[in-house]
């Protein structure tokens, strides 16, 4: 695909069409499998229409058969500022007492499953003990990252000095809650190919932007584009689980993007931008106009500047293929890691049981000294030696 689009004459009659699911899927996909601008053609003329209606479920946990209620403790069992994991028989919840009030929500961080009871409670928020994600105890909403989902919130009542929690069995099992999101209902004109919001980059920042727009009721078109061939994935896992396949670390499923009308353009690199005319140019020559643009391309890893950096057995870990290849080549071999950052030390820990030997080269004499202090750095050195 290529070329640009000129502004058409205004269409005098606007029509609203709901396409059957099979027809809609055909319209949404271009011949190369990438998302294409949506349009409906009547008598050879491009008309305007909006996306197929999908019901939005405001509360997915209202089935009476799905609910469980249990007495979990006495009101005096918890002091103000205390948290406790409680068992409802079919799952656990986190019970919190603050300023005399009780709150109950999911007990595991939806990011990596950390036990929130070991986290920090302060000013109406619980902070995850592992990576610092922050959750509002009144709503369960995530207010600081990493992570995308909030926590399910459960009902609490006091009867005869006993604390009761009423919760959904489904929510107790999932331990996560995705906010209600809007769907795309904006009129879209094929001939102008206007993208209301274009996001360049498909990392966590770009994805959070797209999700937040939908959560806040934005119902116009959203397009995300990335030069990689995958949907947004958790790149931080590449150093922790180096033999993972891309599909195993996706931040959201393909169905998620379809459900919330977030269009994904993969293997699509932006090479030019005209901010005055609000237009970007892709490497293959295709041009796309936008109303709002977010550039969230992230950063690139530092590379060696010494002789030999171009050799086949020298890597930076950027993609799943990079991580997979390092594991394969390092098996029963001598591995050398340059840099004792979090990523470097995670790779070292992962390769310890696979490589013949692992050596870490670092300018500082103690890892993490600048960030965690000398005592912690020395303790880490002792563990990995």
Q: What is the pLDDT along the chain (385 residues), one digit of tens a residue?
A: 444 433 344 433 333 333 344 444 433 333 333 333 333 233 333 333 333 334 334 454 567 788 999 999 999 999 999 999 999 999 999 999 999 999 999 999 999 999 999 999 999 999 999 999 999 999 999 999 899 999 999 999 999 999 999 999 999 999 999 999 998 886 544 434 567 999 999 999 999 999 999 999 999 999 999 999 999 999 999 999 999 999 999 999 999 999 999 999 999 999 999 999 999 999 999 999 999 999 999 888 888 888 888 898 999 999 999 999 999 999 999 999 999 888 999 999 999 989 999 999 998 888 888 888 999 989 988 887 7
The pLDDT value given to residue 77: 96
CATH 3.50.50.60 residue ranges in the chain? Answer: 21-53+183-295
The pLDDT value given to residue 9: 41
The pLDDT value given to residue 57: 40
Q: Give me the CATH code for the 21-53+183-295 domain, please.
A: 3.50.50.60
Q: Give me the CATH code for the 64-174 domain, please.
A: 2.102.10.10
The pLDDT value given to residue 214: 96
> Which stretches does DSSP call E strand in the chain?
40-42, 45-47, 67-74, 82-87, 92-98, 101-105, 120-122, 125-127, 134-136, 142-144, 153-159, 162-168, 194-200, 222-225, 262-265, 270-274, 279-282, 287-295, 334-338, 357-361
Burial class (CB in 10 A: 0-12, 13-18, 19+), 166: middle
The pLDDT value given to residue 370: 87
Pairing state between β 153-159 and 101-105: antiparallel
SS3 assignment, position 99? coil
Q: Which of 302, 305, 361 is nearest to 334 (CA)?
A: 361
CATH 2.102.10.10 residue ranges in the chain? Answer: 64-174
The pLDDT value given to residue 380: 85
Question: What is the distance between the alpha carbons of residues 327 and 342, in angstroms, rounded to a whole number?
Answer: 18
Tokens of 154: 């459960």
Question: What is the distance between the alpha carbons of residues 372 and 370, in angstroms, rounded to a whole number?
Answer: 6
Asked if residue 339 lies in contact with residue 345, where contact means CB atoms within 8 angstroms, the answer is no
């Amino acid at each position: 695909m290529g070329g640009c689009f000129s502004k058409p004459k205004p269409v005098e009659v606007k029509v609203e069409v709901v396409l059957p699911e099979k027809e809609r899927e055909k319209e949404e996909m271009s011949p190369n499998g990438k998302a294409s601008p949506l349009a409906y053609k009547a008598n050879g003329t491009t008309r305007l229409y909006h996306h197929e209606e999908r019901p939005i479920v405001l509360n997915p946990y209202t089935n009476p058969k799905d609910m469980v209620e249990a007495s979990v403790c006495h009101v005096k069992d918890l002091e103000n500022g205390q948290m406790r994991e409680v068992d409802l028989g079919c799952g656990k919840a986190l019970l919190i007492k603050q300023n005399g009030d009780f709150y109950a929500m999911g007990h595991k961080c939806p990011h990596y499953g950390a036990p929130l009871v070991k986290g920090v409670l302060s000013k109406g928020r619980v902070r995850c003990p592992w990576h610092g994600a922050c959750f509002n105890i009144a709503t369960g909403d995530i207010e600081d990252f990493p992570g995308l989902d909030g926590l399910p919130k459960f009902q609490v009542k006091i009867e005869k000095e006993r604390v009761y929690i009423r919760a959904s069995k489904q929510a107790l099992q999932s331990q996560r809650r995705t906010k209600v999101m809007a769907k795309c209902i904006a009129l879209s004109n094929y001939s102008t190919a206007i993208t209301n919001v274009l996001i360049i980059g498909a990392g966590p920042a770009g994805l959070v932007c797209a999700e937040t727009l939908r959560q806040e009721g934005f119902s116009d078109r959203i397009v995300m584009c990335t030069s990689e061939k995958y949907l947004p994935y958790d790149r931080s896992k590449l150093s922790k689980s180096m033999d993972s396949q891309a599909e195993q670390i996706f931040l959201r499923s393909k169905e998620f993007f379809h459900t919330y009308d977030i269009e994904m353009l993969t293997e699509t690199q932006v090479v030019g931008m005209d901010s005055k005319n609000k237009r970007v140019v892709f490497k293959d020559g295709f041009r796309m106009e936008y109303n709002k643009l977010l550039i969230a391309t992230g950063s690139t890893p530092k590379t060696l500047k010494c002789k030999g950096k171009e050799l086949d057995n020298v890597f930076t870990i950027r993609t799943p293929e990079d991580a997979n290849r390092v594991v394969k080549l390092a098996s029963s071999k001598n591995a050398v890691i340059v840099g004792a950052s979090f990523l470097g030390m995670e790779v070292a820990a992962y390769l310890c049981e696979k490589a013949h030997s692992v050596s870490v080269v670092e300018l500082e004499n103690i890892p993490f000294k600048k960030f965690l202090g000398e005592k912690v750095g020395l303790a880490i050195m002792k563990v990995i030696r």
